[in-house]
Amino acid sequence: MNQRIFSMAAALTMAALAAAAPAFAADLIPYEQYRAAKLADLTAPPQHDAGAIAISPDTDRRDFHVKYTGDHRPVSAATADFIAQYMRSAHALPALATCKEEYRFTEGGKDYWLPVEAAADDEMTSEMSPGDSADLYANVLGFTQQGAAWTPVIVVEEVQTPN
């Protein structure tokens, strides 16, 4: 009986910790490691065959200032494929597996669809309205190529509204 009570207590403790993990993770984001940048300034790699990908050799952390549109959709097949390949590489970041939705943000009048980690997704949709300014703390993972165009793969880790 005592063993069953201990097992139940341990299971409840683990469940509580797992549920709180996103909140703790947000507190651990090293904001000083993110460089201010513009989405439009990201440089695509040299031309390759259609369908090619280019994985960033290091974690490239950036802080982008954008407008939140409120529009979202499931992560595109090309982006999901890229994230899966990235996770199999030496750069595996477990939170990437939580990216199920991508959101449309604008910067300088141009639209960008960016996947958002689940913890940031929940916070963003509950606290923001379309048209709000936002700072995106994101990881630039690399690029996918569709036809002649390269598209950056940028995963949003944290979203903050400027005060």
- Identify whether 143 is part of a domain: yes
3-state class (DSSP) for residue 24: helix
Range of the domain at 126: 31-160
Q: Please report whether residue 89 resides in a domain.
A: yes
Q: Is the dihedral of CA 43, 71, 125, 132 positive or negative?
A: positive
Place of tokens 């200032």: 65
Strand runs labelled E in 24-83: 35-37, 53-74
What CATH number does the domain containing 40 carry? 2.40.50
User: Looking at the domain assignment, is residue 129 inside a domain?
Assistant: yes
Question: Would you say residue 26 lies in a domain?
Answer: no
Residue 67: inside a domain, yes or no? Answer: yes
pTM above 0.75, yes or no: no
pLDDT in single tens digits along all 163 residues of the chain: 444 443 433 333 344 444 444 444 445 778 888 889 999 888 776 666 656 677 766 668 899 999 999 999 999 888 888 888 888 776 566 777 778 899 999 999 999 999 998 888 887 888 889 999 999 999 888 888 777 778 888 899 899 887 6
Give the model's pLDDT for residue 107.
96
Cα angle for residues 50, 157, 151 (degrees, 5° grid): 15
Radius of gyration of the chain (CA): 18
11 HSE (CA, 13 A, CB side): 6
Distance CA 17, CA 121 (A): 20
Residue 24, in any domain of the structure: no
Residue 143's pLDDT is: 84
In a domain, 55, yes or no: yes
Total count of domains within the chain: 1
Task: Indicate whether 105 belongs to any domain.
Answer: yes
Secondary structure string (H, E, C) spanning 76-108: CHHHHHHHHHHHHCCCCCHHHHHCCEEEEEEEC
Euclidean distance between CA atoms 24 and 33, whole angstroms: 18
CA angle 124, 24, 134 (to 5 degrees): 25
Predicted local confidence at residue 51, as pLDDT? 61
